[in-house]
Amino acid sequence: MRVVITGAAGFIGSRFTDMFLEHAERLGYDDVVLLDALTYSGRRENMTDALGDARVRFVEGSIVDAGLTNDVLRGAHAVVHFAAESHVDRSISGARAFFETNVLGTQQLLESARHGGVERFVHVSTDEVYGSIAVGSWREDHVLEPNSPYSSSKAGSDLAALAYHRTYGLAVSVTRCSNNYGPRQFPEKVIPLFVTNLADGLKVPLYGDGMNVRDWLHVDDHCRGVQLVLERGRAGEIYNIGGGIELTNRDLTTRLLALCGYDASMIEPVTDRLGHDRRYSVDWTKISQELGYRPQVDFEEGLAATVQWYRENEQWWRPLKGRPE
């Protein structure tokens, strides 16, 4: 059987691929197609281990390309869809690419899956589609109230995915994760940005008052959750995947400074992001009860290991940032 993993050269997609290959034989998959457009955050280096596996082949191309997606998905058993434009700041300065990739690209994949006989489609999304929540946690049936071009484009892709299930019977499941961290994350995101800045003796930019709250999820735990949904998730359902670690951005910054041997003097307050959501928090009771999901990576250990990875792999991130002036 064939599985197609989109966005496989990115941070989460590449890690999912590595972990999925450990289970592929058990699940009956002997043909693993990695699809990625290799835009700025998709890197061949992230797929090095996977491409050494005889079951794996890589296809370079965009998910908005109908001819390509029709060809790759025809006869595939499953699709795990990670491909997306995902950085909020970039969406604020240039929204069009986010709607083209996240909405139109997802719709094209769904259309190709519908006509290609795909039996399982896992659409990977984000908790940001819910907006901001002052107290409590979002359940999967909460109304969508996205506040950025990025999150609104992801909300649109979620609705398209669920519509293809309801209208055409495509076996789609949607996952919504909290903030991921771990090795190989592009250094525009907060943890690798701060760690690589500090490696160069540069200050770290902290938005506003630093009191925005995020729930942190190690990429390995996220991938385990997606794997469970691929194997046993119900069609037409949404599954929140959380880490259970809520921190203000200032708390996170303090921990990163300590791990890198610095103090608060390295914080540079900057003007808050436009439309900055105050707090995210997902209720992941559903995936826990139905599929047995539990986060396994201790946050303190996971964060320390992530910092250490960036310290030991400058050759990976240095070309993406350049040398400090």
* Paired tokens of 187: 């250094």
227 to 76, 270, 276: CA distances (angstroms) = 17, 38, 31
- 8 A C-beta contact, residue 229 and residue 239: yes
Q: Record the pTM.
A: 0.96
| pLDDT > 70: percent of the chain | 99
**Residue 97: per-residue pLDDT:** 94
Residues that are catalytic: 127-128, 150
Pairing, β 172-177 against β 238-241: parallel
Domain made up of 2-180+217-241: CATH architecture: 3-Layer(aba) Sandwich (3.40)
Place of tokens 């990163």: 256
Nearest to 78 by CA among 31, 143, 40: 31
Q: Tell me, which fold does domain 183-214+245-279+298-321 have in CATH?
A: UDP-galactose 4-epimerase; domain 1 (3.90.25)
pLDDT tens digits, one per residue of 38-76: 999 999 999 999 999 999 999 999 999 999 999 999 999
- 8 A C-beta contact, residue 121 and residue 173: yes
Q: Which strand (E) or helix (H) includes residue 112?
A: helix 106-116
Phi, psi of 200 (to 5 degrees): -100, 5
Phi, psi of 187 (to 5 degrees): -75, 35
309 to 16, 184, 243, 320: CA distances (angstroms) = 18, 9, 20, 16
**Residue 325: per-residue pLDDT:** 59
**Residue 15 to residue 21: CA distance in whole angstroms:** 10
DSSP string for residues in 117-152: T--EEEEEEEGGGG---SSS-B-TTSPP---SHHHH
Instruction: List, by residue range, all CATH 3.40.50.720 domains of the chain.
Output: 2-180+217-241
Identify the burial level of 97 via C-beta atoms within 10 angstroms of its C-beta, where 0-12 means exposed, 13-18 middle and 19 or more buried.
Answer: middle
Pairing, β 246-248 against β 213-218: antiparallel
Dihedral-angle region of residue 151 (phi above 0 means left; psi in -120 to 50 means alpha; beta otherwise) = alpha
End-to-end CA distance of the chain: 51
pLDDT tens digits, one per residue of 250-293: 999 999 999 999 999 999 999 988 989 999 999 999 999 999 99
pLDDT digits (tens), the chain, 325 positions: 999 999 999 999 999 999 999 999 999 999 999 999 999 999 999 999 999 999 999 999 999 999 999 999 999 999 999 999 988 989 999 999 999 999 999 999 999 999 999 999 999 999 999 999 999 999 999 999 999 999 999 999 999 999 999 999 999 999 999 999 999 999 999 999 999 999 999 999 999 999 999 999 999 999 999 999 999 999 999 999 999 999 999 999 999 999 999 999 999 999 988 989 999 999 999 999 999 999 999 999 999 999 999 999 999 999 998 766 5
Instruction: List, by residue range, all CATH 3.90.25.10 domains of the chain.
Output: 183-214+245-279+298-321
Place of tokens 């999820």: 217
**Residue 323: per-residue pLDDT:** 66
